[in-house]
Amino acid sequence: MTVMARVDHAAGAAKVGLALRSTEVLMFGNPRAGTLLMELAQTIGIDLPLKALVWQDEAGQIWLGYNDPYWLAARHGVVGGDAVVQAMSDLLGVVVGAALAPDRSPT
């Protein structure tokens, strides 16, 4: 998986004189997997690469949210891409699990 972009909404807000708690979108994926899905339903390209939103709430708690690859496939009517969607879902689970692991070293 490759990180393709990072959008720092808090930094954008600061540039126009507004305050926003830490809020970032990470876009990541694998062009091979994404292309295979777009060949089956090209409209899924609006939701690819995959994205994760990481934000801090009012209490200082950090949250992570993302759209499940199965939901994306259903949304776009992907038929025949079960193995690709399963692989994306499995890998996303591993990445999110690693990101949320309490004993992970800061980087």
Structure confidence by residue, pLDDT tens digits, 62-96 = 999 999 999 999 999 999 999 999 999 999 999 88
Structure confidence by residue, pLDDT tens digits, 12-45 = 999 999 999 999 999 999 999 999 999 999 999 9
CATH of the domain at 42: 3.30.310.70
CA distances from 43 to 3, 11, 14, 19 (A): 21, 30, 33, 35
Question: Using an 8 Å Cβ cutoff, are 43 and 19 in contact?
Answer: no
CA 12 from centre of chain: 19
Of the candidates 63, 51, 66, 69, the residue with the CA atom closest to the CA atom of residue 7: 51
In total, how many domains does the chain have? 1
Q: How confident is the model at residue 104 (pLDDT cuts 50, 70, 90)?
A: low
Per-residue pLDDT for 103 more than 70? Answer: no
pTM, rounded to two decimals: 0.85
Per-residue pLDDT for 105 more than 80? Answer: no
Residue 20 lies in a domain: yes
Residue 85 lies in a domain: no
Residue 102 lies in a domain: no
Domain housing 17: 2-76
Residue 18 lies in a domain: yes
Q: CA 80 to CA 65: how far, in whole Å? A: 26
